[in-house]
Homo-oligomer: A and B are copies of this chain.
């Protein structure tokens, strides 16, 4: 592919100018007339029965157009497990759960109406600790858990708060522990954190008089949302239309599933065709959208004296809050990686997804993997130090390679760039150089699967002047999908990048795509787009072949022209080709679909085999201030195996962004939940995320272990880059001050307290 090189090139984002000039349209920029403002009255209790709701006074307020409660729309939704009421039904399960929604002609009236609504509750004991929630006689948060519909892979435990339990077993774990020279048992925890997307959740819903629902919404999966809504409401897919704004201001997992759209729809069924808009306040985003699962990971690891990891048993508890949301599949996906990216012969993993009366946890960049990587990468250093083996060396010694069986045993691994990631870091740092005082270096590895199988389709049209349109339901959520997919079209079709436009996602017109999640778009949609572009190109070649009298196999396309490879003077532009054949006008339409053919094991999607795995390693250098407990990250390197960098700039951006995104949960971010289950710091003033001055120098390193089925060998990258950063930091802190932290975040007060303890212990 020496010419027309678009794929693999460091091309600036196609939407860069639109974004930096402020012209890009986001959800809240969409304009509607006759719009009503929706607001929700939310539960002040973490767990309570709803005894009575009196909306009479609010009803009378002038300007109020609709008031809805759970009774108006008594349905349950949810992707993995249908437990999620559009509005609370008979009880509330977390502080912030919507109980009544109001649509009014403006926000002031809507808020005034909320103040006039009286709700009578009977408080129930709130379960905030997942371990207590798992106890046999714990009060039940979902009494009807056993009646909920769910996808096959999800295994709820009846009469419990466990909405999913899984177990993976490879080898003989008990025997393997006996065969080990040393055993390590540690428990690691992660806290509740926020995604922190700048753009809050918003939706506008309109229900036409025929009952067809249209939702304009910030959601990372328009077709999945359509499916979830139609399933919950018991209507055909074609009765729901999901339209996305051209751009979304970040999601990181929080913009999927049923969020604010359910309330908008509930209201819109009662507004006589008037659209209802809701935009969550930042406080609502904190309390009532989504958080990352707090987790407890117990690791028991048997090792040989030479550093070989021989056996590992993991018990992983994901605290999923009041509703399952994507918790069961986060648990499933995370647990597949609980043993770490290492050749381990004997593995046992027990995963639990547990209800508590807290904010709902679900997808968050990494999808359960940051939690298990925190554990296995911290323990890896504990093992290394105990055995006196270099932390980098022990990882290289155990790291999985091409052709290995996956650690939890589900598949043979292909496209495995882990060792190269570690080696590339080694080449870029002076690993063995002694540290200055209070400084340390740390490394950690990770790997991440993608939901499998899942499908994507695309359509590529060439219009009569040669301009090209891509129809895809992949969402431009800030990750650069428009750029990557445009490059693929340009490369495969042989068209100038500038000639390509991407239509906005709309379930009525842009073809099916499972979701813009799971780092799947480059691979899955990339394959679909490539096939669609190929289909289009082949049709153009068929026509050009006749006109130029050159066999299709001898034709090439480049920059919007088709030419004979043997006689490049023989050439026609796309426009000329179309004009010759269809002088009166016709576009060339190509389509492509991709659905990985991977052996189905128990339960299909979300079971173990992943069509690809991403691998990576992060390195950090820190300096700990023993007076303040502050950790300063001096330098960070992320080396990540992307299969093939379709665009090195956007790959590097993902590495930089992922590392920065991981620093917060490692060092400062924590949603504090009070005794009554209320979030104590639901604002960016009180919830500390890293800001520009906290960002270290980040060096992104790209590794390309081409995937045989990826477009041009590409895999994904978006989530992987954030997975190993927290343990890398913890390992560097240990290297700096000799203290091991097992509970995130590693805040200055924890460091000071540990240093004091260490001093006392002497």
Chain A residues within CB distance 8 Å of chain B: 17-18, 21, 23, 31-35, 208-210, 223-224, 227, 230, 236-238, 451-457, 459, 461, 463-465, 467-469, 471, 499, 501, 503-504, 506, 508-512, 514, 581-587, 589, 591, 593, 595, 600, 604-605
Contact = CB atoms under 8 A, between A and B. Distances in A.
Nearest to A593: B586
B512 A509 contact: no
Nearest to A30: B33
Given A237-B465, A463-B238, A227 B32 contact: no
21 contacts: A23-B209, A227-B464, A236-B467, A238-B467, A451-B584, A453-B584, A454-B584, A455-B582, A455-B584, A456-B586, A459-B459, A469-B508, A471-B509, A503-B508, A509-B509, A509-B510, A583-B604, A584-B605, A586-B593, A586-B595, A589-B593
A464 B514 CA distance: 12
A468 to B, nearest CB: 8
A58 to B, nearest CB: 27
Nearest to A230: B465
Q: How many copies does the complex hold?
A: 2
Contacts of A223: 585
Contact of A509 (B237, B506, B585): B506
Contacts of A455: 582, 584-587
A24 to B, nearest CB: 10
Contacts of A605: 583-584
Given A32-B33, A459-B459, A465-B237, A514 B587 contact: no
B459 A589 contact: yes
A451 B501 CA distance: 31
Contacts of A457: 586-587, 589
A210 B16 CA distance: 12
A514 B463 CA distance: 12
A465 B33 contact: no
Given A23-B208, A463-B512, A508-B504, A604 B587 contact: no
Given A455-B582, A586-B457, A589-B511, A467 B208 contact: no
Chain A residues touching B, majority SS: loop
Contacts of A238: 463, 467-469, 499, 501
Given A33-B31, A33-B32, A509-B503, A585 B23 contact: no
A230 B18 CA distance: 22
B464 A237 contact: yes
A713 to B, nearest CB: 23
Contacts of A209: 21, 23
A579 to B, nearest CB: 10
What 6 A-B pairs have minimum CB-CB distances, sorted nearest first?
A455-B586, A509-B509, A31-B33, A512-B587, A584-B605, A238-B467
Contact of A31 (B34, B461, B503, B582): B34
B508 A453 contact: no
Contact of A585 (B471, B514, B581, B582): B514
Contacts of A604: 583-584
A585 B512 CA distance: 8
A465 B236 contact: yes
Given A451-B584, A457-B586, A586-B593, 14 more contacts: A31-B32, A236-B499, A237-B467, A453-B583, A455-B585, A455-B586, A457-B587, A459-B591, A503-B508, A503-B509, A504-B508, A509-B509, A514-B585, A581-B595
Nearest to A466: B236
A609 B388 CA distance: 89
A33 B34 CA distance: 8
Contact of A210 (B23, B469, B591): B23
A17 B586 CA distance: 34
Contacts of A511: 461, 587, 589
Contacts of A581: 595
Nearest to A514: B585
Contacts of A224: 585
Contacts of A454: 584-585
Contacts of A504: 508
Nearest to A152: B583
A704 to B, nearest CB: 27
